[in-house]
Amino acid sequence: MPAKPWWRETVETILWALVLALILRAFVVQAFWIPSGSMIPTLDPGDRVLVAKFWHALSEPKRGQIIVFKYPVDPSRDFVKRIIALPGETVRMENGTVFVNGKALSEPYVVNHDNFNMPEMKVPEKHYFVMGDNRPNSQDSRFWGFVPRSFIKGPAFLRYWPISRIGMLN
């Protein structure tokens, strides 16, 4: 069999690389840019994170995970927040303290507290209650409700930019 010309090998290599990259992005991992300060100090505006898109097929979301999801009010936009309450749990806030199933939640990742009050509500099945770590500057489930399971893209597991802050999340 005669050898392929160099230009054909190059074109085929580029096409296969493109196909592989598209498959990885669609089903395995995707990069996201953090546009706001709602997750300070965990994530800063301009940080870039990787999200494990295959994760939802392997395990259920857990309290404390940072997730990327479709914004329920406008599903064309992506949001990043932390899971606070799971399906079937009750959640309320008193002077900025979050209570899940009647117990105060330990939240060492929250540095900027607020004095928000929210009556107790039950998280519907297949939905999640999410909040930003920077409570005074976060539009989250307190204001627009619960995140459907089907809207979750996956957990953010690695910050890869800026280089000085590279590391695993959670």
Assign 53 a pLDDT band (cuts: 50, 70, 90): confident
Tens-digit pLDDT profile for residues 9-47: 777 777 776 766 666 555 568 889 999 999 999 999 999
pLDDT digits (tens, 9 = 90+) for 109-165: 999 999 999 999 999 999 999 999 999 999 999 999 999 999 999 999 999 999 999
Q: How far is CA 20 from CA 15, 23, 29, 50, 60, in A?
A: 9, 5, 12, 17, 27
Instruction: Say what the pLDDT of residue 58 is.
Output: 77
Q: Is it the case that residue 78 has pLDDT exceeding 80?
A: yes
**Residues designated catalytic:** 38, 81
Residue-range domains of the chain with CATH: 29-168 (2.10.109.10)
How many angstroms separate the CA atoms of 84 and 76, rounded? Answer: 23
CB atoms within 10 A of CB 129: 26
pLDDT of residue 25: 57
